[in-house]
Structure 1
Amino acid sequence: MELADKAVGFLLSVVSLSIFTYYTFWVIILPFVDDHFIHKYFLPQEFTILIPVLAGVAILCFLSVFVGFVMLKSKKKKAYDISF
């Protein structure tokens, strides 16, 4: 299992590094480059703020639902755990 864990960790590192590089190039460098063929590989500039905001909202929603389910589950356990 150790080799599989290392492979998954390496894959996650490569994916996150490539997303970070793409986004950094898109936000910081691309606005200073005018009329170049590289622009066709990137989304319009309006999405530079929209994508991270939507991702943050989605993460907060999923986290809130998870915490809510955990709280409900622990409350139900306490309700059934009545001892005399």
Structure 2
Amino acid sequence: MATGTDQAVGFGLVAVSLIIFTYYTTWVILLPFIDSQHVIHKYFLPRAYAVLLPLAAGLLLLLFVGLFITYVMLKSQKITKKAQ
């Protein structure tokens, strides 16, 4: 059973994810259909970042997953060598 702290953290993570999803969806899908002189455009980064930011995040994710897998494999080899 989750404690109150766990539930609060989970709720916070869901809320942040929802805000990011809404912002990105508005930025990428809706903003191109709004007139470029509209005031809403000042709240968003240039469109080039709409591709670059997720690309950078994906590359960082792959980097950390690769580092984690490498760490686990090396640690597993050390344990196997000690057992022999």
TM (norm. structure 2) is 0.95
Per the alignment, residue 73 of structure 1 pairs with 75
Q: Which runs of 5+ in 1 are unaligned?
A: none
Q: Name the aligned partner's letter for residue 38 of structure 1.
A: I
Report what 2:24 is aligned to: 23
Q: Map 1:49-60 to 2 at 5 A.
A: 49-60=51-62
Name the % identity. 52
- Structure 2 distance, partners of 1:30, 1:65, is 37
Amino acid at match of 1:12: L
How many residues in Structure 1 have an aligned counterpart in Structure 2?
82
In the alignment, structure 2 segments of 5+ residues that lack a partner are none
Over aligned residue pairs, what C-alpha RMSD do you find?
0.8
Give the TM-score taking structure 1 as reference length.
Answer: 0.95
Tell me the CA shift for residue 23 of structure 1: 0.1
Cα distance in 1 for partners of 2:47, 2:67 equals 32
Deviation at 1:46, TM superposition (A): 0.5
